[in-house]
Amino acid sequence: MSEVCQKHVPERTCVACRKKRPQGEFLRFTKDTQGLWQMDSRRGKPARAGRGTYLCADNPACGQEKKLRRTFGAQAEKMALSVAAFHQLNQELESGTAPTGVTG
């Protein structure tokens, strides 16, 4: 497993819309040792070995709780909140509007 073909971009499938895209365009979720899902914010970097679950990083619709439920079950609501927070932060960064008058 140490050899990586540089020409090939590993593709992943969004659990919400089933779209295939390069791994770097996804939010990644992994299960911790207690079986709880965690959102891995280090986008694009494979954090550790193990199976991950992927969700479109640029499509807030993919983060809706009802779409996450079949994957995350009882934790769907919590994950939906994490995804929503991620998108909100992204929007603030992209629009350049700081919530509390930061000088810049």
Query: Can residue 56 be called a binding residue for Zn ion (CB under 5 A)?
Result: yes
Which of 62, 76, 80, 83 is the binder for Zn ion (CB under 5 A)? 62
Among 9, 17, 36, 47, the residue binding Zn ion under the rule CB under 5 A is: 17
61 binds Zn ion (CB under 5 A): no
The reply on whether position 79 binds Zn ion by CB under 5 A is no
> Which residues contact residue 10 at a Cβ distance below 8 angstroms, ignoring those fewer than 6 apart?
22, 23
From the number of C-beta atoms within 10 Å of its C-beta (0-12, 13-18, 19+), residue 57 rates as: buried
Residue 14 sits in the site that holds Zn ion (CB under 5 A)? yes
Residue 63 CA to residue 104 CA, distance in Å, equals: 31
Residues that bind Zn ion in the complex, under the rule CB under 5 A = 14, 16-17, 56, 62
